[in-house]
Structures are given as C-alpha cells and as structure tokens.
Amino acid sequence: MKITLEEMCDELQKVNRVVVAGHVIPDGDAIGSALALAMILKSIGKDVRVMFDDNIPRNFMMMPTCEKIERPSEKIDVDALVIVDTAPDRIGKVLECVGDVPILNIDHHVSNSGENRKLFCDPHAAATAEIIFEIAIELGIKLTKDFAVCVYVGIATDTGFFQFSNTTAETLLIASDMLALGVKPNLVVEVLEQRPIEVVKGLGQSLNTLEVWHDGKAAGMFLDEDLVANLETTEGFIDEIRVIEGVDVSLLLKFMAKNVCRVSMRSKTVDVSKIAMQFGGGGHLRAAGCTLKMPFEDAKRTIMQAIDDALN
C-alpha cells in the first residue's frame, strides 16, 4: 500500500522499538539511508537497531555509527521493521529475526510494488538518502554533520558523484546543504575510492588485452582464465575503455568457469540490450549483459561478431 511522505512520517512517530534494514550486497545508499534514518528516529526518542544480513564493505565504515550495524541472529522483539532502499525480498534473515511485525518501506526504485506493507516510494529521487533528508525536514529534526555524511554518501554513490543521468537540480541542492553542514567532499572521495592493489594491477593486465575493431567503433577487454584467477573484482574496468574516442560499443568478456563466460556491454548509441537478449541476457539500452555457455575463444568470436552485426 503506497502512502505519502507525510503519512510515512506519522507512522515513524507512532512506533517505539524498531529495526531499520537495507538490502544484502549493501551499497552506499542502503547503508547511508539506514544510518541517517536511525539518527532521525533516535533524536525523537525511539529505540533503534540497524541490521544488514551481509558484510559492510570496508570503504563505507567511515560513515558515522556504521560500527553499530548488527547482523541478524536470534529473534528480537520490536514494534516495526523499517526497510530502506529495497523491497522486503532482499533483506535476508532480518525478516525472520523480527518476526511478523508491521513493515514500513522507504524506497526510490520504481519496481517496488508495496504489497502487504506501507510504502513511500519516490522514483524521481536519485537516491533513497534524498527521501531520508526530506523526512528529516518534515519531522523538523535538527541536522548534524554525522547525518549529513550519511546522506551525502548515499546520494554521491547512487549518482556516481553527481555524474549519472539520475542527478537532478534537487539532488545538488541537498548535496549543497550537506556541505553546509560540514561534509568535506574530498575526504569522502579519498576513502570511497580506495582499492586493493590486486584490483589496480588487474586493471593494468586487463587493459593489455584491449582490442579495438569495427573501424574503432568497438572496444573490448578479454579476461581469460589465467587473468581472472587473481582478480577480486572487475568493477569499473569497462568504464576505462568506454571513454575511448570514437568507441560506441564497449565490451568486457570474462571467464567465469569452464564453458561459461560473462559479457558486459556499454554503448553510446547502439541498443546493447538487444545484443544481450540474443543470448538470453538483458539490461538497458546503454548497459547490458549476458552469459555465453561456450569456451572462451568461441565466446570471444561470437560476441565480437554480434557487436559487428549490431553496428552495421
């Protein structure tokens, strides 16, 4: 059941003991929103615990009160569960842990349907953290620097530091308020962008596999079994070749297991979701992926040909 921001604020004022939870594989917006909302609720006298059924990535530990996040274990007794930045299906064991209590749900994902719970969802918000800020204003909370850091990290990470298409004038207005409260963007960036040395070395090795074809309109990196063996993550690698002048379609092909290869694609004009769908994958116009169940060299030939066809 969808409710308004004002109704959500009323609901939050009614409860006394609550758990605030976000999704597994937590990102900056899930964690920042949960922590900022917990600060709001504490400041109006509520008993609040924040729970994630997953590890908190090291880089996000700089958010104030992050160390107080709990993993769900034995059953606990609360009035309500507040879920941020996701529907209840992605909060893991927190659901069992709190039992059958009313759920309040705050989100910005348009796909959230809100069945069997009270949901405030604003798909125009670039981040759930924007909504948490609006709730603080609606409830007349005195904003602190700690709160500002959490909201700022949520918004900055969900907008790629204000560079993605979801960034609005309102997004930057809120970010401006967070700076006025004392957030230092350079210090936040310094912590968030930290990467393990293996990932930095892996980027170098991956760039060595760079091939450009179709008159420079396609560029790909080809990470075979040997190369991926030492690679913790390839997150962000495709962005390094996406920026090559003249490249429309960029590709990351990655060995996953014997006869299983993962394809990630980005584009400037070509509909790469169509290419992905040919192989049972999907995605968006400009960012899509699929899995090819074949040996690495066959996968390489197959996806390069499919990109050629799409560019023709």
Compute the distance between CA of residue 307 and CA of residue 65 in angstroms, rounded to an integer: 47
200 binding a second copy? (CB under 8 A): yes
169 binding a second copy? (CB under 8 A): yes
245 binding a second copy? (CB under 8 A): yes
219 binding a second copy? (CB under 8 A): yes
Compute the distance between CA of residue 77 and CA of residue 199 in angstroms, rounded to an integer: 42
173 binding a second copy? (CB under 8 A): yes
Give the torsion through C-alpha atoms of 166, 85, 88, 140, to 10 deg: -130
**Cβ nearer to a second copy, comparing 172 with 311:** 172
Distances (CA, A) of 186 to 7, 68, 172: 37, 25, 16
Beta-carbon contacts of residue 218 (< 8 Å; ≥ 6 apart): 212, 247, 248, 249, 250, 251, 304, 307, 308, 311
Stretch that binds a second copy, among 81-89, 91-99, 206-214, 277-285 (CB under 8 A): 206-214
**Cβ nearer to a second copy, comparing 44 with 189:** 189
193 binding a second copy? (CB under 8 A): yes
- Which member of 2, 68, 184, 293 binds a second copy (CB under 8 A)? 184
Compute the distance between CA of residue 251 and CA of residue 11 in angstroms, rounded to an integer: 47
Side-by-side strand order, sheet with 80-84? 47-51, 17-21, 80-84, 103-107, 118-121
Stretch that binds a second copy, among 28-36, 65-73, 79-87, 210-218 (CB under 8 A): 210-218
Q: How far is the CB of 220 from a second copy (least distance, A)?
A: 12
Stretch that binds a second copy, among 45-53, 90-98, 164-172, 298-306 (CB under 8 A): 164-172
Residue 18: helix, strand or coil by DSSP? strand
Distances (CA, A) of 51 to 19, 22, 69, 77, 151: 7, 7, 6, 14, 18
Residue 181: helix, strand or coil by DSSP? coil
167 binding a second copy? (CB under 8 A): yes
Compute the distance between CA of residue 200 and CA of residue 86 in angstroms, rounded to an integer: 31
190 binding a second copy? (CB under 8 A): yes
204 binding a second copy? (CB under 8 A): yes
**Cβ nearer to a second copy, comparing 2 with 268:** 268
Q: How far is the CB of 38 from a second copy (least distance, A)?
A: 25
Q: How far is the CB of 111 from a second copy (least distance, A)?
A: 21
203 binding a second copy? (CB under 8 A): yes
- Which member of 25, 179, 225, 305 binds a second copy (CB under 8 A)? 179
- Which member of 70, 79, 146, 240 binds a second copy (CB under 8 A)? 240
Tell me which residue of 104, 103, 102, 109 sits closest to 130, measured CA to CA: 109
Phi then psi for residue 107, to 5 deg, are -155, 165
Binding site for a second copy (CB under 8 A): 161-165, 167-173, 175-177, 179-180, 184-186, 189-190, 193-197, 200-201, 203-208, 210, 212, 216, 219, 240-241, 243-245, 268
